[in-house]
Amino acid sequence: MSEYLSMLYLWLKSAHLIFVIFWMAGLFMMPRFFVYHQESPVGSAEDGKWIEREGKLRKIILNPSLIIVWILGLVLAYQIDAFTQGWFHAKLLAVILLSAYHMWMMGYVKKLARGERTMSDKRLRLVNEVPGIAAALIVILVIVKPF
């Protein structure tokens, strides 16, 4: 039984990491989409194509990946009793903040679809760095476990 649970843990961990990669890819892509989308005239055919692309990225990659990452992550944390470990609290905070960033992006997708362009291209390029910084921090917390 112990061997079975060990194998199950490894499969769950692998799936978690695979969906983290999918989620991160979407988090990197969406702000780039925003930059290009904002250059198109509101109501144009190109604007419609960007709305469609952003919708597909949101529905097919970003939102499902976010949900699966959270479910598998919480199951794994429970299995290793991570809720009692300091590194995990820091990781959980980073993932919560990254999830908030995800939700902000979903809101901006809707603004762009309504024709609202509230951010500059430069600012969008800067917010594109958020997932990379978060990923680096999370990887260090999980691998090094500094506390």
- 16 is annotated as contributing to ligand binding: yes
**Per-residue pLDDT band at 1 (split at 50, 70, 90):** low
Look up the domain containing 119 and give its range. 23-67+81-144
Burial of 20-45, coded b for 16+ CB within 10 Å and e otherwise, reads bebbbebbebbbebbbebbebeeeee
Task: Establish if 6 belongs to a structural domain.
Answer: no
Q: What is the pLDDT of residues 101-140, one digit of tens each?
A: 999 999 999 999 999 999 998 999 999 999 999 999 999 9
- Number of domain units in the chain: 1
Task: Establish if 56 belongs to a structural domain.
Answer: yes
Task: Establish if 39 belongs to a structural domain.
Answer: yes
pLDDT value of residue 4: 80
- 145 is annotated as contributing to ligand binding: no
Task: Establish if 112 belongs to a structural domain.
Answer: yes
Task: Establish if 131 belongs to a structural domain.
Answer: yes
Task: Establish if 99 belongs to a structural domain.
Answer: yes
And the tokens for 64? 């499902």
Taking the C-alpha atoms of residue 60 and residue 55, their distance in angstroms, rounded to an integer, is 8
Residues whose CB falls within 8 Å of the CB of residue 48, separated by 6 or more in sequence, listed in order: none
Q: What is the pLDDT of residues 39-63, one digit of tens each?
A: 999 999 999 999 999 999 999 999 9
% of residues, the chain, pLDDT over 90 = 95
Taking the C-alpha atoms of residue 87 and residue 94, their distance in angstroms, rounded to an integer, is 11
